[in-house]
Every structure is written in C-alpha cells, then in structure tokens.
Amino acid sequence: MVELDDETAFPFFITLVTTSINLLLQIHFVLLISRQGKVRLTKWYSPYSQKERSKVIRELSGMILTRGPKLCNFVEWRGFKVVYKRYASLYFCMCINQDDNELEVLEIIHHYVEILDRYFGSVCELDLIFNFHKAYYILDEVLIAGELQESSKKTVARLVAAQDSLVEAAKEEAASISNIIAQATK
C-alpha cells in the first residue's frame, strides 16, 4: 500500500534511535488503525515529532494491513516489534522492544478491548470513531507511561465509572440550571 522510500527511511531510523526512544519503556506507542488505513486512535509514550508520527503510521499501516490472516501477529520494524491484533475491521497495534514478550502484549491489547467492550456494551468501531476521547480516558486507566498499570478489569471499570458519574452529575446540574433560566425568562 505504502511504498517505503529506502533512502529517506534509513536516516530517519537513526534519528529515532538517537534522539527520542526511551528503551526503558515497555510500550512505545499504541495505534488503532482501520482496515482502510484510517487512524482511529494514537497514543505516543515515547516522544515523536508530528512528522515522525505520520511517517510511523504510514509505514506500519503499509506493513500490517497487507498481512494475511494466518500469519504472526507481530512484525519487526526498525529494530522494534509491533504487535497487532485485528478486531472486526479495526487493528490494534502496540510497539515494544525487541526482546519483550509478544504474547503478553497481545493479551494487553485484548485486555483493553475487553474493557472497551464492557464499557460501551459490545463495542464496535463506530463507538470508537465518535467517542475517541473516551477510548483515550480508558486507555489512560489501563496503560500509564508505557506500562500496564491495572490488570483488573473491574478496577478499571470502577474508576472510569466514577469519572463518568461526575460527568453525569455535571450534566444534570447544567440541565437544571438551564431549566431554571428557561423558567425565569419565560
């Protein structure tokens, strides 16, 4: 899908390695890409410039979306590994270090998807398209600074619900205020 430009790709790799990658991180970034290569969510735990980000997405969607269904869920990429998993028409990708445990990361992805599923009630891509900010909030409860912070689905659900109840409360408040105003101005 995307032709890699060999001449520019190589120096770019060097800059990535020397300037921005913190190898202590377990997960360098999370990408959600649709089957058509559209970006649904990106979260960068290592610092990348906007230009680098576009390039990374372009390269990876070119590599991952073209892979057959029965192949490994991992691709080696610029000295890192990208673990991906397809759910319906959406690809969840996480970039990890060369010597990390790919199967574990595959399960971290699944863990996240199950939490999304519980939250949205059988989640589908459309939920994520229109509620990408919620997907971000949930991701922040699952991963922090590139590490899995909470492995209990229930705990995550409870925290997200606590935050949401606040949202609901605020909304009701706003509604009642506007009601009062509406009443008053009638």
Partner 1 sequence: MGSQGGFNQSKEFLDLVKSIGETRSKSEEDRIILNEIETLKRRINDPDIPKRKMKEYIIRLVYIEMLGHDASFGYIHAVKMTHDDSLLVKRTGYLAVTLFLNEDHDLIILIVNTIQKDLKSDNFLVVCAALNACCKLINEETVPAVIQQVVELLGHQKEAVRKKAVMALHSFHQRSPASVNHLVLNFRKKLSDNDPGVMGATLCPLYDLIAVDVTPYKDLVASFVNILKQVAERRLPKTYDYHSTPAPFIQIKLLKILALLGSGDKKSSEQMYTVIGDILRKSDTASNIGNAIIFECICCISSIQPSPKLLESAADAIAKFLKSDSHNLKYMGIDALGRLIRISPEIAEQHQLAVIDCLEDPDDTLKRKTFELLYKMTKSSNVEVIVDRMIDYMISINDSHYKTETASRCVELAEQFAPSNHWFIQTMNKVFQHAGDLVNPKVAHNLMRLIAEGFGEDDDAADSQLRSSAVESYLKIVDDPKLPSVFLQVICWVLGEYGTADGKYSASYISGKLCDVAEAHSGDDAVKAYAVTALMKVYCFEKAAGRKTSLLPECQSLLEELSASHSTDLQQRAYEFQAILNLDANAIENIMPLDASCEDIEIDKTLSFLDNYVQTALEQGAEPYISENERSGTLNISNITNRSPYEHPTHSLRFEAYEVPKPVVPTKLPPADTYPTELVPVSVPESSYQPTLSSGPDVGSGSGSNELRLRLDGVQKKWGKPAYSSSSSSSVSNFDSRTTAVNGATQSDHVTAKSRELRQPAVDVSEEKQKLAASLFGGKTGKPERKQSGSAVAHSKASRTTNHGEDKVQQPTTVTTAVQSPPPDLLDLGEPTGAVNSYSSVADPFKQLEGLLDLSQDGNAGTTSSSGPDLMALYSEPSGQNQKDNMNSAPNPSNHAASLSKGPNLKDALDKDALVRQMGVNPTSQNPNLFSDLLG
Under rule CB under 8 A, which residues in 68-127 are in contact with partner 1? 68-79, 85, 87-90, 98-99, 101-104, 106-108, 110-111, 113-114, 116-117, 119-127
Q: Considering the complex, what minimum distance in angstroms separates the CB of residue 183 from partner 1?
A: 20
Q: Is the dihedral of CA 6, 12, 14, 17 positive or negative?
A: negative
Binding mask 5-44 for partner 1 (x = CB under 8 A): -x--xx--x----x--xxxxx---------xx-xx-xxx-
Minimum distance between the CB of residue 184 and partner 1, rounded to whole angstroms? 18
H or E element: which one contains 80?
A: strand 80-87
Is 60 an interacting residue with respect to partner 1 (CB under 8 A)? no
Q: Which is nearer to partner 1, 18 or 183 (CB)?
A: 18
Total binding residues toward partner 1, as defined by CB under 8 A: 93
Among 155, 175, 179, 181, binds partner 1 (CB under 8 A): 155
CA 166 to chain centre: 24
Q: Which two structure tokens, joined as six digits, stand for 62?
A: 């070119």
CA distance 99 to 79: 10
Q: Which is nearer to partner 1, 143 or 184 (CB)?
A: 143
Reported as type and span, the H/E element at residue 155 is helix 153-185
Phi (first) and psi of residue 137, to 5 degrees: -60, -45
Single-letter code of the amino acid located at 30: V
Among 29, 30, 33, 166, binds partner 1 (CB under 8 A): 166
Question: Per-residue x/- marks for partner 1, 128-147, CB under 8 A?
Answer: -xxxxxx-xx--x---xx-x
Contacting residues for 109 by C-beta, under 8 A, at least 6 apart: 83, 84, 85, 92, 94
CA-CA distance, 158 to 137, in Å (whole number)? 13
Query: 71 or 184: whose CB is closer to partner 1?
Result: 71
Does 62 bind partner 1 (CB under 8 A)? Our answer is: no
